[in-house]
Structures are given as structure tokens and as C-alpha cells.
């Protein structure tokens, strides 16, 4: 696999088990206490690192949701030299619980994924201190992640920030008719702390 050191660092920062306990306790009216898993997937290894993401309410860990695949590659933008491309499992229920049971990911193949062409982020790296970085992922200008699922049009405003021990999700669901956010980081990002490194 030929990928850059910044891409490998981003992957290391993202991989792990996270939760937003402190945020949920401080502001329970707006932030559900969530567990988030980012697991490495053995796909697209020739030029990228691929990650399976899944989350669950802390009181219903047996009912995870929002299964998605994130492929990290080199980008073309000099200001944001990395790229994060999203894919959707064609059968999300087949991967249900893979955050806690990563063996389920060993059966995943390319043809079980659907590329979401408009769901892509440009990723830039900032140095915080020697060997310490912050990665910021934002969509290209004037783009919105949009796809069809279950006969409905789904729109999501994507974005994240990552440091070695923290992950912030700016993802919001958007109502296609009104353009307003309906779920997710409506009042600001979900702030996850890494509890375990994968």
C-alpha cells in the first residue's frame, strides 16, 4: 500500500471506540449519549485506508445504526491534500453490530458497497505541536451529500475534525424540501473522546 504519512496518521486518529459522555452529561437535552466505532476494513488497500463507522445510543448498544464506509485517499486539492469518500452498505443489516463484532467486516466485498459520489470531504492537516495534528474535513464548496435510500432522497451536511484523542462530528440530516437540519449536530458538533485505540 502506498499512502502518505499524513493519511496514515489520520487513519490512526480515526480508528477506535469513542463516546460523548461528558457532552451528554453537560447538555442532555440536546446531546444523546452515544458510542461510536471506527473499524478498519480490508478493502481498497492498494491506495487508501477504509473505515467502517457505526454508532449506538449508550442505553441501546445492541441496536446500532448509521452504518457507513469511509475511504481515505490522497486528494487533488493543495489546501486539503487528503480526501474522505463515503460509501453505503447495500445491506446495512448484514453489518449490524460490526462496531463491537469486527469479524463481520471480514466478509465485506466491493460489490456490497454503493459509492455515494456527492458524499466526499476535503481534509486538511494542521500542526498543533511536534507530532500532533488536527485534521479538518469539509465538503467542497456548494456541495451537499445526497443519495436515495428506501425510495426517499436523503441529504446530509457532512464534516468532522479529528485529533489523536478526540473526534468531532458535524453531520446533520437536511430536509430536502425546507433545507433545514432535522437531526445530528444542529447546535454544534458531537464531541467524542477516544476510549480505545483500534
CATH of the domain at 161: 2.40.128.590
Neighbours of 119 (CB within 10 A): 22
Q: Which of 152, 145, 147, 82 is nearest to 114 (CA)?
A: 147
Report the pLDDT value the prediction gives residue 154, as an integer from 0 to 100: 87
Q: What does the pLDDT average to over 61-87?
A: 92
Percent of the chain with pLDDT over 90: 82
pLDDT over 80 (residue 86): yes
Quote the domain boundaries for residue 179: 5-197
pLDDT over 60 (residue 131): yes
Q: What tens digit of pLDDT does each residue of 52-65 get?
A: 999 999 999 999 99
DSSP one-letter code for 103: G
Higher pLDDT, 77 or 32: 32
Question: CA 25, CA 78: separation in Å to the nearest integer?
Answer: 40
pTM: 0.93
Q: Tell me the CA end-to-end span of the chain in Å, nearest whole number.
A: 19
Q: pLDDT tier at 143 (50, 70, 90 boundaries)?
A: confident
Give 52's strand partners: 39, 69
Mean of pLDDT over the chain: 93
Question: CA 48, CA 3: separation in Å to the nearest integer?
Answer: 6
Report the pLDDT value the prediction gives residue 80, as an integer from 0 to 100: 81
Q: Count the domains in the chain.
A: 1
pLDDT over 60 (residue 29): yes
Q: What does the pLDDT average to over 102-106?
A: 94
| Strands ordered across the beta sheet of 152-157 | 145-149, 152-157, 172-174, 181-184
pLDDT over 80 (residue 78): no
Cα dihedral 100/103/105/108 (nearest 10): -150
Q: Which of 39, 51, 53 is nearest to 190 (CA)?
A: 53
Q: What does the pLDDT average to over 124-131?
A: 93
Report the pLDDT value the prediction gives residue 107, as an integer from 0 to 100: 86
Q: pLDDT tier at 1 (50, 70, 90 boundaries)?
A: low
DSSP one-letter code for 185: S
Q: What does the pLDDT average to over 171-190?
A: 91
Q: What does the pLDDT average to over 90-94?
A: 91
Report the pLDDT value the prediction gives residue 8, as an integer from 0 to 100: 95
pLDDT over 80 (residue 48): yes
Question: CA 88, CA 114: separation in Å to the nearest integer?
Answer: 5
Amino acid at each position: 500500500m502506498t499512502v502518505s504519512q499524513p493519511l496514515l496518521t489520520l487513519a490512526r486518529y480515526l480508528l477506535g471506540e469513542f463516546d460523548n459522555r461528558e457532552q451528554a452529561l453537560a447538555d442532555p437535552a440536546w446531546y444523546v449519549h452515544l458510542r461510536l466505532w471506527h473499524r478498519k476494513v480490508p478493502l481498497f488497500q492498494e491506495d487508501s485506508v477504509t473505515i467502517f463507522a457505526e454508532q449506538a445510543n449508550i442505553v441501546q448498544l445492541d441496536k446500532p445504526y448509521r452504518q457507513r464506509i469511509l475511504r481515505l485517499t490522497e486528494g487533488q486539492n493543495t489546501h486539503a491534500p487528503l480526501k474522505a469518500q463515503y460509501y453505503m452498505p447495500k445491506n446495512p443489516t448484514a453489518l449490524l453490530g460490526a462496531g463491537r463484532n469486527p469479524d463481520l467486516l471480514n466478509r465485506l466485498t466491493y460489490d456490497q458497497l454503493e459509492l455515494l459520489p456527492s458524499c466526499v470531504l476535503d481534509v486538511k492537516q494542521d500542526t498543533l505541536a511536534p507530532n500532533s495534528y488536527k485534521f479538518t474535513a469539509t465538503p467542497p464548496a456548494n456541495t451537499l451529500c445526497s443519495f436515495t435510500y428506501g425510495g426517499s432522497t436523503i441529504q446530509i451536511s457532512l464534516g468532522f475534525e479529528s485529533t489523536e484523542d478526540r473526534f468531532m462530528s458535524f453531520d446533520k440530516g437536511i430536509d430536502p424540501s425546507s433545507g433545514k437540519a432535522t437531526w445530528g449536530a444542529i447546535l454544534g458538533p458531537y464531541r467524542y473522546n477516544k476510549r480505545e485505540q483500534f
